[in-house]
Amino acid sequence: MDQVNTLIKDFGIPKPSKSTILSIGAAISVSYLCWKIIRLIKPPRKLSHIPHISFYCHVKSIIERKPYSQISREFVMPLLISSSTIGYLKPDALGWTLNITNPEATKDFFLKTDIYPKANFKVGKGTLFQNFIGDDNIAFASGGNEWKKHRKLVNPAFHKNMPIKLFTTLTHKVFKVLDDANEKPINATKLLERFTLQAIGLAGFGFDFDAILNPDSEWVTVYANIRAGIADPLYFVFPWLDQKLLWLLPKRQEAHRLSDRFHGMMDGLIEEKRQLLRQQKTKHDQDECADAEKDILTLMLEAELSGEGTLTHEELKSNLNVFFLAGHDTTANALSAAIYHLATHPMIQQKARDEALSILGDDPEDVFPTLQEIKRFKYINQIIKETLRFHAPAINGLPRVVTQDTELAGVFLPKGTPVLVNTYDLHHNPCVWTNPDRFDPARFDKDSDAELRPSMSWVPFYNGQRMCIGMQFSLMEQRVLLSCLLRKYEWRLPDDSKHKDELITGNIGLLVAKDLDVIFKRRY
């Protein structure tokens, strides 16, 4: 109203009636709203040369809970086939975002961190995801000294931590669950989520969730409800429900309370370990536990006490929550997908079993693989790599923002453009991979010419400076579980499996296999 009156006064226009002023104000408001909607549903003019998925199709597919594989086939692959492009545009949290699906562009994106730095933004302030994971961590540090501060403590801890004995001990607990099932279908998705939950709890900060043998334990239930709330597509598409209308949503309020409760548990663990390490340092106690089997929190606190760097309590907790969320769900998804592909390809499963038996022995008893034995796996590693290509646990990594007008693999990008690598679509790009919808571990046989492809065609852990620091941790966990499973069991899908034709997953963030039932049969 004031703006309309100012225009009237400045231009000497006769003062209109109140109803006319209200009409003009309404017209201006509607025009502004239309402009905002157009910006939301249509890519910016400066990016019109890049193909895009329509806003309507994108949102509709998410709300309908279509598997991402179906969304990719329907909307993405036609763009990649019909266009010689570096990728495509899709509406995201930062606006219309370039999803890279081209190896050449991927390489530039990862290596030119001055032009493509981490996006400097707070992740959904006020959302459940932000409540759980926090802001001050290595994943969301935008760069420079802030990122280096986190990396200085975090990176060495992950390099030292490789708890093979722990992974094997937990695998033997998985055997107990499979034996109790007595060749009846068992939900492998849920079981593997519990396995990786207990693994990251113990290996990450020394907390036993008692998840494998006790699926209804207190903290398993707490975390499951938090995780379900974070993955809810309604709040992903409309984050303002969390931010503005939480007071109207009692179930959502409960999810936030559970996240606060989880933080309270973490606070107690951090303080307890700090005190214990201070006492050991004062008393000159000798810790005989090898670094490889120490939890990550202990290694980070030891590095801090030795003067290698310092993180605040909140920074330390936020980093642990990042490791927890990323290290638990992604590895569980990768293992679920590997078990699915081995179930649907019995010849590949048997070839992998033969390798496991040749290295770990065929005696009818449970074994503890050594690091030297695990390093000898060749075909099992190929299966893991092909699984991570076919079903990368996360659709994409965190976005970055272009700092200046530039060209990426010959395509103009204006300053301010959000950019990320869409690992799923890159790994299924028919211009990069031969028969990308066929599961074929031979692609990764270094002794054959099964697949000739450019570098950075396979990036499930991203690449460059900001490559996932938990990569070796996850790969080791997968090798231990799969090799031990192959020695003791054969498995297949039930005849009526809904995954018979393809693995059905979600479509946001992490690709979780939906209720993957599998039948395991003991070999000894």
CA distances to 275, 280, 388, 427 from 462, rounded to whole Å, are: 36, 38, 12, 12
C-alpha closest to that of 388 among 420, 357, 427, 362: 427
How far apart, in whole angstroms, are the C-alpha atoms of residue 285 and residue 448? Answer: 53
Angle at 493 between CA 394 and CA 338, to 5 degrees: 30
Decide the pairing of beta strands 517-522 and 186-187.
antiparallel
Whether residue 468 is annotated as binding a ligand: the answer is yes
Burial 51-66 (b: 16+ CB within 10 A, else e): bbbebeebeebbeeeb
Contact, 387 vs 456, CB < 8 A?
Answer: no
How far apart, in whole angstroms, are the C-alpha atoms of residue 65 and residue 523? Answer: 38
H-type alpha helices, 42-143 = 55-63, 68-71, 77-82, 103-111, 128-133
Reported as type and span, the H/E element at residue 34 is helix 18-41
- What pairs with residue 521 in β-bridges? 490
Contact, 24 vs 75, CB < 8 A?
Answer: no
How far apart, in whole angstroms, are the C-alpha atoms of residue 485 and residue 184? Answer: 17
Residues of each annotated binding site for heme: 468
Residues of each annotated binding site: 468
